[in-house]
Chain A
């Protein structure tokens, strides 16, 4: 390759600036004493203080974290099974529909997923009496439905790139297929499982639209609280919250990067 041209590099620099300036500004202004974005009136941690005393926000955050964790765990199991099916079982009956059902949730607008699941839950309640009320369970089911599609993409690409000679050796030695899967395949695809879990966790923690549709009274997730305070305009507490989220993500990425390097 020839040396890279400066127009290309400047577009790249512009792109990164475009992606990061809003985040950097949020962080900066979370330490600003003034409510106004344009005025810097001095360094202050008061928004963080208000944040930790905001009970509604903390309760909704706890609800969101519990939903996200359960969602990620179930989505990793189902998504891995789906990836196994696609990679290991060749052309089974109904494969085209199966692939369609795994791709559609990746691009389907949230409003459609949210509305259609809500109508399903209402219809189910009328016919079989379950779910009795909407909230934790219905939000988790809705999140698993789209998360499992994302997990299957991540796990599938890992299964496709994986070296199968160890599995073959174990099978030659007479190991039961389930033993082979649990003792050899799963450890080999573990990084993808972890990545899939984190992805599902983040997607769930981030979802406003679908949760709003399928939630009921009394179940308010973190994005719903953020949304209602953001609709009122600028809220420095949200800046503080954003800073904490960015810090957590940065730490997670650093740890993941370190553990990858050690491998």
Chain B
């Protein structure tokens, strides 16, 4: 009650600055740009500077509005774009599942480790995140190459007779995605697992539920919010990933982020790049809303 009374006569200026400044910044540099992307996606490419036409013009007292819907039509009809979109969703799905399969047991092992070991173990998960992402992806080129370390190792073991082609395949992209995004899966899972009420597991054990049964019926359902949160943190950015498929992937099966890059930098077709961004955004709205809901529910508890 006391705090409430104080904050009532607290200068409104503080409130204005706290809310207003970040709001203004994000409104101007994060929200407004999307409106402009939407506008440009309906323009036509042109050989002008900047390379797109105006949407409306005053000609002799007449307002001329020209909306170009050909890009959306192109994206929905041309198999290049459809395949890139499907491929992106597929890579994001495989990457997310891979992170989950590897990340869940890791998070579980860390969360059940003796208390003193948990922080160092967690630090080791976060540490690679602090070194350059680009360089860490690049490291895989040397490993997955035809004459790279993985092939050298497998040949030496005698498992294979001739080098496997891994670099510039989908497999390399999956490896790169799992490698780069694993920490984003482990952190929310760990946070969820450490909050788990252990007495429930003891009760289950007392009632004759064996460890696997306890995991399936108690631990996993209770950590589902962490699973979903981690999955979204991996899935959403991976759909638009550029660096990993560009350095490790097969040039024959592009992801949508690469297409946007090419349309923009190589073909200078800004309206088409903007249209791809709009389509990508529309696809990502659903997982994003799920994530946002979950976060708000989390805060209420």
Contact = CB atoms under 8 A, between A and B. Distances in A.
B91 to A, nearest CB: 12
Contacts of A100: 292
19 contacts: A4-B109, A4-B112, A25-B149, A37-B149, A38-B147, A38-B148, A78-B25, A88-B7, A92-B15, A107-B233, A109-B257, A115-B260, A116-B37, A171-B2, A209-B242, A230-B141, A242-B131, A245-B132, A252-B130
A196 interface: no
| Chain B interface, >50% SS class | helix
A105 interface: yes
Given A107-B288, A126-B50, A245-B131, A89 B143 contact: no
Contacts of B242: 109-111, 209
Interface in B1-50: 2-3, 6-7, 10-11, 14-15, 17-19, 21-23, 25-27, 29-34, 36-37, 40, 50
A8 B111 CA distance: 12
Report the contact-size class of chain A (Cβ under 8 Å from the partner): 35 or more
Contact of B135 (A38, A152, A241): A241
Contact of B132 (A18, A106, A205): A205
A236 to B, nearest CB: 10
A81 B21 contact: yes
B142 interface: yes
Contact of A115 (B124, B125, B274): B274
Interface stretch (B72-80, B100-108, B217-225): B100-108
Contact of B277 (A37, A116, A178): A116
B243 A249 contact: no
Interface in A34-55: 36-38
A246 interface: yes
A23 interface: yes
Interface residues of B, number: 90
A81 B18 contact: yes
A168 B233 CA distance: 37
B127 A253 contact: yes
A217 interface: no
B140 interface: yes
Contacts of A233: 141
B103 to A, nearest CB: 8
Contacts of A22: 136, 139-140, 143, 179
A19 B108 contact: no
Given A145-B29, A249-B127, A94 B23 contact: yes
Contacts of B142: 25-26, 29, 37, 234
